[in-house]
Structures are given as structure tokens and as C-alpha cells.
Structure 1
Amino acid sequence: MNAGVEWALHSCLNLTWIEPGETVTATKLAAFYDLPAAYLNKQLQALAKAGILASTSGPRGGFRLARRPEDITLLDVVTAIEGREEAFRCNEILRQGPGGRADVDYRAACLISQAMSGAELAWRKELAGRTIADLKAAVEVAFPSTPESTRHHLANV
């Protein structure tokens, strides 16, 4: 998984604490963690294309959440950045090995492929079961000053 996923998740979380109707520029979101603004902007554009963020152009433009945090899963963000392809791709190398046969679907018969598919399913299920709102709530319990300090920092960058 590339770093863009981490950046996108943190950006979505930070956007939960801005005032309704407000937006934050990619430059300000990038400055929050000292990230390259152009690269973060690509991640934010991918989130906007996926309907997770809304972007507004112009002097008061920027990004905001397009959906409620309760309606954005971690899997939504990962998929927006990484795409829908599986992390493990069985290339059926058993077909070329000793005793390999052309008439066998090794993706279904290979125990390694089955194990990796099961792990991917569990991983995706876990990400689909957690939302940005869940993260927001956990952060607010563990670090109660975060919402106010985030708003202050984003307003004054």
C-alpha cells in the first residue's frame, strides 16, 4: 500500500473537524504534516473522484467531506487511492511446474492462492467495517484536544 493511503486517511479525519460549509486547500492539508502538496493533491483528487471529498475551486476553494464520516469506510478510502485490484494475484505458476496441467484452474486449486484470498477477504471486511467516524471518535477519546488544535492549525497555516 502506498503512502497516499495514509495521507488520504489523515486528511479525511482532519476534515471531520472543520466547520460545516468550510473547505481546506490541499496546500494547508499538506502543510499540516509537511507533505508534498502536489502529491497530496493527487490523492485528494482521487478521493473527490470517488465521491468521498468534494472540491471547490476559486479563492475560497478547497476540499471538504462529500459524505458524512459515518458513511465513509476505510475501505472506501483505500479503494479510491489503490484501486480495486486484489493485493495478491495468483499467476498460476503451478501450471509451469512439475505435473502442471493446462486444464486446471490453479487459482482455485492452489492452497497458497486460497490462503492469500482468505487473508485479503478478512482485511477488506475489517476495513469495510470501520468508518472515518469510528476513527474520529477514537481520536477524540484518546486525544481530546485534537479537534480544536486541528481547526486552529488548518486555519492558521
Structure 2
Amino acid sequence: MKLSDGVEWSLHCVALLASLPAGATLSNAALAEYHGVSESYLVKHLKQLAKAGILESVPGPRGGFRLARPASSITLLEVTEAVEGPGPFFRCAEIRGNLPCCSSTVFVRPCEINVAMLRAERAWREALRSVTVQGIVEQVAASASPERQAASRRWLEAHLRGV
């Protein structure tokens, strides 16, 4: 399974926005600059996150993006599904019905491969559902050097809007 770059970018942006003071926003240009990614590609994903109720888009010259709700209530699964969609990652086309030796056979049991793939996907989704953006922010804060934290704080202060 390969997720799009948009998932990684979105997760990082949501985590960064979780560290903003109340009412503050960051522009899509600032978010793209901070992460060193394409602004035009990133804004597509930021809009998907806003549509999903994860981010709030604030209009105007002092506007930008901020979390729509507390980071403790946003899971990595929600962000992933906002970007990739909620559908299954594996789709069984039942090609076993194409076998030359049994083309007219009706299978009474589900495809064993499909069953295994769906089981794995449920476990993967449950793992992502159990991790909140707040938990990620706390892990980063605990592991980042004081220098990195200070540099990030200075950058944010220079780019914050709406405060």
C-alpha cells in the first residue's frame, strides 16, 4: 500500500497548527514554506481537511488555517481518510472466478486473500484511530532539542496571523 504524499503533508500541517495559540492561523504559503513543499499541491489537501471538519479556513488578509477542534479529538485516521477517502485500500475483484479449471464454480466462501487483506486493513485503521494529533505533538515536544523548539517558535511568531 502506498499513500499519497498529501497524507504526510497533511499530518505535519495539522500537527503544526495544533501548536498555535488560540485564534491564530497560518497561511497556506507559510505552511508550504515551513515544510518545504509545493503550495499549490498542499492547498488542495488543506481544503480537503477543512471540508472534513479538521481544519477551519479563515478568510481575509489576516486569515489562514487553524484547527477546527482540539488536537486531542483529531486522529491520524481522520486525517488520512480526509486525504485518501474512506474507502477500502484493497478491493477484491474475485478473479478466482476467471480460473480456466473452474470458471462456472460458485464460491461459497469469501476469498481467503480478501479476508486476510481486510483483516490487516482493520488493524491498520485501528492503530491510526488510536493516535491523536495531540499525542504526536506531545511526542515531538518531548524529543525535540531546545534549539529546535526555539527556532520553530521564532519562525511561528514571525508567520502567525490573527493574533
TM-score of the two chains, using structure 1 as the length reference: 0.92
Q: What is the number of equivalent residue pairs in this alignment?
A: 155
Instruction: Write the letter of the residue equivalent to 2:107.
Output: V
Tell me how large the CA RMSD over aligned residues is: 1.6
TM alignment of 1:1-157, pairs within 5 A:
1-97=3-99, 98-101=101-104, 103-104=106-107, 109-143=110-144, 145=146, 147-156=149-158
Aligned with 1:156: secondary structure? helix
Aligned with 2:62: secondary structure? coil
Aligned with 1:109: secondary structure? coil
TM-fit CA distance, 1:61:
0.7
Aligned with 1:22: secondary structure? coil
Identical positions, percent? 39
How many Å separate the matches in 1 of 2:63 and 2:103? 58
Instruction: Write the letter of the residue equivalent to 2:102.
Output: G
Instruction: Write the letter of the residue equivalent to 2:111.
Output: C
How many Å separate the matches in 2 of 1:115 and 1:148? 47
TM-fit CA distance, 1:16:
1.3
Quick check: 93-102 or 130-139, which moved more?
93-102
TM-fit CA distance, 1:100:
4.0
Aligned with 2:66: secondary structure? strand
Quick check: 142-151 or 13-22, which moved more?
142-151
1:50-99 Cα deviation digits (max 9, x unpaired): 00000111100100000100100000000000001111100000011132
How many Å separate the matches in 2 of 1:2 and 1:153? 27
TM-fit CA distance, 1:101:
4.1
TM-fit CA distance, 1:148:
4.4
Instruction: Write the letter of the residue equivalent to 1:121.
Output: R
1:74-129 Cα deviation digits (max 9, x unpaired): 00000000001111100000011132446436xx5211111100100000000011
